[in-house]
Structure 1
């Protein structure tokens, strides 16, 4: 948020329960549902920033292919921001292996972590190389250092 001080952030209980966040691009404002726990607020904020950056417009109703594509793009960006591959490598070096431990490391929910891993699977496949590491995403995350 400090890096994006051109945006007004409002944490509010006035949003409906089914709505975690909302962007008003014209006012450069992001609303976050403060009824959710902190980790959900964090991941919602990342997704809403991605919506803001991609200029998605109003896509609350997912009634078109284009709106669904915009939603998927914003979620993909949020997943990679919240769970970067370099962060997973850090988990590897610290001996953090289980999904709940990895989620705690990133301060996200286990559900969000699993969606982030699925996002990497769809982008790169089940096994891929990242720098000097082999990522095996067949089950959660397994990393092997090359050399």
Structure 2
């Protein structure tokens, strides 16, 4: 969140339980009913949408929208765990 101060982050208690986050323009709405780990992942994914998505892709009714969703998730995941992190874990004996 600190890397993207131009975004506003709001906890929205009336969000449906199935929706963890949503970004509209420069406001990230977050469902407060999440564990800290889930919240970290949600914020990273929403920042991924900020960096990669165009338009309203809430309804996943086209291949392009599905591709944008996947791209945002991939970017968010890379913010949290880099390939170097995985290599370090492997080198440390993790399986």
RMSD: 1.5
Distance in 1 of aligned mates of 2:3 and 2:79 = 14
Aligned to 2:36: 38
Aligned to 1:80: 78
Kindly indicate whether the alpha-carbon contact (under 8 Å) linking 2:20 and 2:31 is maintained by their aligned counterparts in 1.
yes
Give runs of aligned pairs for residues 10-21 of structure 1, distance below 5 A: 10-21=10-21
Bigger share in strand:
1
Q: Indicate whether 1:65 and 2:60 are aligned.
A: no
Kindly indicate whether the alpha-carbon contact (under 8 Å) linking 2:12 and 2:31 is maintained by their aligned counterparts in 1.
yes
Larger Rg: 1 or 2?
A: 1
Distance in 1 of aligned mates of 2:70 and 2:3 = 24
- Tell me by how many angstroms 1:54 deviates: 1.4
Kindly indicate whether the alpha-carbon contact (under 8 Å) linking 2:9 and 2:28 is maintained by their aligned counterparts in 1.
yes
SS in 2 for 1:66: helix
Q: Which has the higher contact order (CA 8 A, sep 6+)?
A: 2
Structure 2 unaligned blocks of 5 or more: none
Distance in 2 of aligned mates of 1:86 and 1:43 = 19
Aligned to 1:22: 22
> How many residues end up aligned between the 2 structures?
95
Distance in 1 of aligned mates of 2:59 and 2:23 = 14
- Tell me by how many angstroms 1:35 deviates: 0.3
